[in-house]
Amino acid sequence: MVRSENIRVVLLCIVRPKLFDRLKMMIRNLATYLYNTVVDLNIFPVRDFGSNVNRTTAKRLGQWSTRLFIILFIIGLSVLALYNIVKPQVRTNTFHKPSLNVYNHLKDDYEDKLECSCSSTASPYNKFVKIEPVFHQVRKYLAYLFATKVHKYLSLE
């Protein structure tokens, strides 16, 4: 007969960690994996350093070269991003029938960038432009001779 004192019951319980503890452990494992990957990252193979450099030195030089490359690449991308953020944006405004004051103000501010989309001028040129030729005396005489010759020629017919 078996006495109750001699029997031991061993219960194995599977204890699951709580969700928060599992997340902490996963993040810790991920951080460790990323750290080890970044520290050991080498995009330059050992053969790039030639046969006169031993493998350990070539590995270390490759790792440092990789780190330098990544840093310079990130700096280059940052400069490009900053340039695209800072560069001036082209903005086009259309003014329909601007007054003369508005036009003069725009001309003063944006002299070389101002464009007029008009197909014809709003006022005829003869209202503000007067063309009056002034000839030299010799030309006046030649014009007089030409006019008289043409007049005689036309009157003969």
Q: Which of 3-7, 30-34, 151-155 has the highest mean pLDDT?
A: 30-34
Concatenated DSSP letters of 101-113: HHHHHHHHHSTTT
CB 62 within 8 A of CB 48: yes
Average the pLDDT over 120-131 and give the result: 67
Average the pLDDT over 28-44 and give the result: 91
Is the full-model pTM beyond 0.85? no
Higher pLDDT among residues 57 and 156, named by residue: 57
Q: pLDDT value at position 71?
A: 95
The answer, yes or no, to whether residue 6 has pLDDT greater than 70, is: no
| Average pLDDT score over the chain | 79
Give residue 58's pLDDT band: very low, low, confident or very high (50, 70, 90): confident
- What span, in angstroms and rounded, lies between the C-alpha atoms of 65 and 40? 12
Give the dihedral sign, CA 71/75/76/77. positive
